[in-house]
Structure 1
Amino acid sequence: MYGWRIGRRWRWCFVGLSILLIASLYLLTSLPALPELAEVHTCPACFGTSLCPAIASGALSLTDIGSVPGLIGALGTKNVFFGSYNSHHVVLKKLGHTWELQGLDRALCVAADLAPDCKIKEAVDYLSDIHSLIMDYVSQSTRDNAGVLSSFHLCPSADNLDVLLSDVMKNSKNVSSDLALIHIWTLLHLNAEPLILQILPAEESWPVPRYHGACGRLVVEEYAGQPLSEFTNAPWPKRAHLAKQLLHAALQFTERHPAFRFYLTDISLDNVAVDAVGNVKFVDLENIIILDKYPSDRVKPATWSSQHVSENYGCSDCFAFSSDDICSHHISDHNFYAVCQELLVGGGNSGGLLAVVPSAALIRQPVLPTLLQQCAHSPGPKGRRMAAAQLVSALEKEASFSYFIQH
């Protein structure tokens, strides 16, 4: 009976894999050509044109059937595909569902005071002072009519928006400033991730994928590796090393930029990747709070000088926070809260990277469980940051011990 049940399970696994392979083959063979995916005809209301020559020359292409990332990418539900750019794996994103892209076109027509189904190029011609439109959007549409935060949340004011976007404008040096601003306007209304990837470039050792560029309504990013969720059962030395990187990333996003802080609001084990050499990279930066470190006295909230402590609002397994509270203080421990609760301890029903610590490690570092809980559930304004710093120290000792044992 036992052997029969195992055999039946494997037969069903084989059937399931066969169906998946057939579906994957169908989806891959039915994918549109890259020029069709790019929708260059929507420009200048698009994401950019820097990679259009790469599509024309064949340097950028969709991944063939022999690639595992290609199989996965074909089954994506949000217009995400996998490909090759100069022989490197890349991710190609349209940055939204089809209905979201259609909503972008309607928003463009409305902004130009035209009918919602107007022609895109006609709408762009009617737009005037695109810089002011961008400022107005960032300043006034922090929340939509339903109270939902926009994906690009700059606070406590948008006064220094030009400083924030200066690197994006530098990367657009091959087009006019007006065209670059239209591309920025388009991204702000749909998905600001490409802007973040240029403000915090991987080339400067930020823990994010490299941004290669755009063609029409298609952006190309580095393929960053497997999701962190694949490593929750990895050997302890590997998990300790990844956890140390995550805590360092929390510090980077909070402190490293000279003018702004970046708070992660959509964080999960599937929104962080681990590349081939073991480096962690945050791969979903669509939703982020950007805090201006040096706002004018005119816009500083009364609580600005104090530190903010993120809370779970009575739900121990929830990743809850107040964006208004974060924006009302000059600094927050939110990134440490996000990393410790969602990635290390594990929020909800998911187990985190350090949810299970080996008994041998607990003998060497008996304080680990306490530090993890203090980081996830802060006892005070500086408690979480202090716990995170001590966690890094303990994890470094574990990494050194493991290296000594292995060598």
Structure 2
Amino acid sequence: MQTLKLWSKMLFRQWYKKLILAAILGVGLYCSFYLLDNGKNKWKFSKSTQTTRQKTESQDVVEIDPESQIQDNQNVYKVPKENIHIHTCPACFGKDLCTDIETGSLELYKNSKTESHDLSWREAILHKADKVVVSSVSDSSWNKFDQYICNNASKKFPCDVSTGIMASYLASNRVMTADGLRNLYRVLDKSRSEVVLPICATNKLVDELKATFDDDGDGQLNKEEQAQLMTALLMHPSYVLLKFQDTVNTNLPIPNFQGTCGRLAVWEGGLTPLEDHLQESFEERAGLASQLLQLVDDFQNEDPNWYFLYTEFSYNSLSVTKEGEILLTNLQDVAIIDKTLFPQTEDLISGTNERLCNDICFQKFTRDILTSPNVTGVCSQLRHYGQLMYAIVCKQILSDLEEHKTEGFFNYDGNKDQQKSEYSGLLHSPPEKDRENIEEVLRECVQETTAGGRNQAVEELQDILEIYLSYNDVDHENEDGNDDEYEEEENDKESENY
């Protein structure tokens, strides 16, 4: 044992440095391998994490087709085929705009649809430039019309109305007479008040309507053209009036007609409702009021052959162009009267021998024209009763007097507390210097106190409004001349400095 201990001490002394170096070397190698392996694993984890992040980011990014994005951002869309109903023609309005619709030249604005009674309107743009209105009739009304065609043509409903209408009364010679047009309302069991355009029809009006719908220009109305005319008279008389204006070449304050396709009618758009102008200056409103009175005068006197009667004036029936021109846009209830019906006596032409006419007088006239078997006799007296249009305009639109606040011109039930109008009168808040005069003539316009007083009041009101129109002209001249005056002053100053 003693020998072993001595031997160990001797080896330790001789080799301890080498053993220490070997141990250090071994530990160093171990640490190196450990760090190297750990680094590889960290690099693998880092790469894996980076790849995962890239995959996640690529999943979050949704690539959008630039063209579809433009379409989503646009506020217009093409006319849906199901809205056109071209297959129903000639039980429709026509086809002259169908090419534009097929090529996408007519586009509807989103969320622009408005409805009133049986009609609907959509704002649209034609050829990327012209704002227009696209109008049609409710599906329920078309359904009733289609049922009539099928039944009258001895066909079971539903049927092919495009062929059915050609075998129906609407394509026959019997309906294309003055008496046939006056009684057209009976076709769909309507009242006369629902088909008023031909209510005073004469042979002259029949001929003019034939010319209006003679699309092929051969001087006569074939069955297809007649079917379209009858469809329009029954379903959308506004469109008939627009097209009629183009034919007779008169300049009425109504929109310009653009065309039709199937059961859609298109006319001038880009208008603002009259109600949107109620907060304008009095000078601006005076200009609109003056135009409105002139509109009534135009309906009576603009065309030497035709007199236009309209008794539904309201804020909802009038619009204003961007140039500030007032137009009648709800044309469903306009009647066209042949002026040859009027007696050509000197006293009527000059306006003498006038009679006092207010509520009871006007009510009797409107009742007679809607119910009398001798409707042509009533129509011949229309020149005198046409002043009803002035009375309605003054009460329903121009006046802001409390006594004129009730809706509707006629107060049939005698209840003066009937529903109040939601709008102010267009001539509200007049300048103090003219307030009394304006209120006085508006009262006489609505309820005349002497024979001929209403027409006289309209003339006086126009004279008052003319003063404010002159103010507008002066203001515009000053605005246009301001820059020139400023330049002249600056030039004078420069000359003085030199």
TM-score, normalised on structure 1? Answer: 0.77
For the 8 Å contact 1:142–1:153, the answer to whether it is kept is: no
**Is the aligned partner of 1:125 residue 2:125?**
no
Unaligned runs of 5+ in 1: 1-24, 64-69, 298-304
Aligned to 2:242: 197
The structure 1 residue matched to 2:134, chosen from 87, 92, 98, is 92
Distance in 2 of aligned mates of 1:225 and 1:33 = 21
Report the identity percentage: 21
Q: Does 1:357 align with 2:429?
A: yes
> Residue 47 of structure 1 aligns with which residue?
93
Contact 1:243 1:353 (8 Å CA) reproduced: no
- Structure 2: give runs of 5+ residues left out of the alignment: 1-71, 344-351, 370-377, 400-404, 408-419, 479-498
Q: CA deviation at 1:364?
A: 4.5
Describe the shift of the 1:314–1:152 C-alpha distance in structure 2 as closer, same or farther (beyond 3 A): closer
Partner letter of residue 237 of structure 2?
A: A
**Displacement of 1:381 after TM fit?**
4.4
Q: Give 1:76-87 correspondences, 5 Å limit.
A: 76=115, 78-86=119-127, 87=129
Aligned 1:217-256 pairs, distance under 5 A: 217-256=263-302
Tell me, in whole angstroms, the C-alpha distance in 1 between the residues paired with 2:78 and 2:105.
17
The alpha-carbon deviation at position 288 of structure 1 amounts to 1.9
Structure 2 equivalent of residue 302 of structure 1: none
Counterpart amino acid of residue 168 in structure 1: T
Q: Deviations over 1:230-283 (max 9, x none)?
A: 122221011000000000000001122222211112221011001111100110
Name which of 440, 457, 473 aligns with 1:387: 457
- Taking structure 2 as the reference length, the TM-score comes to 0.64
Paired letter, 1:74: K
Question: Which residue of structure 1 lines up, in the alignment, with residue 347 of structure 2?
Answer: none
In structure 1, the residue corresponding to 2:469 is in which secondary structure?
A: helix
Query: Greater shift after overlay, 38-47 or 332-341?
Result: 332-341
The aligned length equals 360
Q: Could you tell me which residue of structure 1 aligns to residue 50 of structure 2? A: none
Structure 1 residue 210: deviation in Å? 0.9
Contact 1:157 1:292 (C-alpha < 8 Å) held by counterparts: yes
Q: Within 5 Å, give how 1:77-226 maps onto structure 2.
A: 78-86=119-127, 87-94=129-136, 96-127=137-168, 130-135=172-177, 137-141=180-184, 147-165=191-209, 168-169=212-213, 173=217, 177-178=221-222, 179-201=224-246, 204-226=250-272
Write the mapping of 1:55-74 to structure 2, written as runs, cut at 5 A: 55-63=101-109, 70-71=110-111, 73-74=112-113
For 1:170 and 1:163, how far apart are their aligned partners in 2? 10
2:133 is aligned with what amino acid?
V
Q: Give me the whole-angstrom Cα distance separating, in 2, the residues matched to 1:113 and 1:200.
A: 36
Return the structure number with greater helix share.
2
Q: Deviations over 1:64-122 (max 9, x none)?
A: xxxxxx43x2354643222111221111111x211001111122223334344332123
Q: Which has the higher contact order (CA 8 A, sep 6+)?
A: 1
TM-superposed deviation, 1:49? 0.5
- Cα distance, 1:308–1:150 mapped onto 2, change above 3 Å: farther
Greater Rg by CA: 2
Paired residues for 1:250-269 under 5 Å: 250-269=296-315
Q: Which moved more, 1:108-117 or 1:281-290?
A: 108-117
RMSD: 3.3
CA contact (8 A) 2:94 2:261 kept: yes
